Structure 1
Amino acid sequence: MDNNIVRMLTTVHPWNEVTCSIRQKPQKTSTNAVLVQKAFGDHNRAAFFIPIAIDDYSYYMGGVDIADQCRAGFTTYQCALCNWLVFFYFFLDISSSNTHILINLTRTKQLNQLLNSGQLR
């Protein structure tokens, strides 16, 4: 918890794997400054154990934000009374935006680089 509570759902990372991360002390005007600044004490930086899912999100945050923007711009969302139908539209939006990204990758050399590096299987 840097500035606020974070909730996350992942199918890639195990729930019990952590990594050590160095964090900077937040400003006094941040949301949870009173709670967070106690953990830092007098230091401006401190090392904390954080879940790997949070660390990966922080590292790849720009890509997630761009994907959310792409999905929000061309949504198929419809109001639905069934909970499963909302999930269906959400996953339909994600799959269509991922398809758009992959089509754009085929036009560049990035796809060949990803295939050669083993990141795409």
Structure 2
Amino acid sequence: MDVKLYHTNHLQWGELYYDVSDDKTVLQFAWKDAQVILFASTVAQPEEIVERERKRPAKTSTNAKYIRLVFRDLAVKVLSIPVFIDLYNHFMNGVDRFDQSTSYYSTLRAKRKTWKPLWFFLFNLVLLNCYQLSGFFSKPNTKRGGHKKFLESLI
């Protein structure tokens, strides 16, 4: 957190700092993109990088003057970024998609016992995963009602 609070304006794009947590189980990262990004992982390796096309930030964006030094006149540039950042960028909407999909046909009901909401969450997760693995999900001609038809056939 010190890196983000006190050293943000002194870092160049792409600088990476990391340290192991006190209990030696979590790797904590600070990586400079347009902002300093704080990240924690139990599986990421700091040495792993991947080349990705990145878009130049707008002139009005925060810290744009520091980031534009990397891009110069290019609108898009291939840059090296850590693999864990790339994985996050590609899969960050997974939770949102799960919430959206389960909101349409949820089994969750208001309960006072603490274990029941967890059970319904896991049940919804299993139903959604089964739907995505089924043929209902991959049919190209199904415009609407694929998920509903799957649940009806399952019942």
TM bracket, shorter-chain basis: 0.5 to 0.7
- Number of residue pairs aligned between Structure 1 and Structure 2: 87
C-alpha root-mean-square deviation of aligned residues, in Å? 3.2
The correspondence for 1:107, drawn from 123, 127, 137, is 127
Rounded to whole Å, the distance in 2 between the matches of 1:97 and 1:66 is: 19
TM-score in terms of structure 1 length: 0.58
The answer as to whether partners of 1:22 and 1:45 remain within 8 angstroms in 2 is yes
State the SS of the aligned residue for 1:26: coil
Look at both structures and tell me which one has the larger radius of gyration over its CA atoms: 2
Please give the secondary structure, in 1, of the residue aligned with 2:37: coil
Query: Can you give the 5+ residue segments of structure 1 that lack an aligned partner in the other structure?
Result: 68-95, 114-121
CA deviations over 1:4-56 (Å, ceiling 9, x no partner): 11111111221210000110011011111000011001110111110000001
Find the aligned partners of 1:53 and 1:60 in 2 and give their Cα distance.
11
**Structure 1 equivalent of residue 147 of structure 2:** none
CA drift of 1:64 comes to 4.8
User: What TM-score, normalized by structure 2, do the two folds share?
Assistant: 0.46
Higher relative helix content:
1
Q: What amino acid does structure 1 have at the position aligned with 2:52?
A: S
> 2: distance between equivalents of 1:17 and 1:52?
6
**Which stretches in structure 2 are left out of the alignment for 5+ residues?**
1-31, 99-115, 134-155
Q: Tell me, yes or no, if structure 1 residue 27 matches structure 2 residue 52.
A: no
> Does the C-alpha gap of structure 1 residues 109 and 40 become closer, same or farther in structure 2, counting only changes over 3 Å?
closer
Identity of matched residues, %: 31
Match of 2:90 among 29, 40, 59: 59
Higher relative contact order (CA 8 A, sep 6+): 1
- In the alignment, what sits opposite 1:48? 79
CA distance in 1, matches of 2:35, 2:131: 36
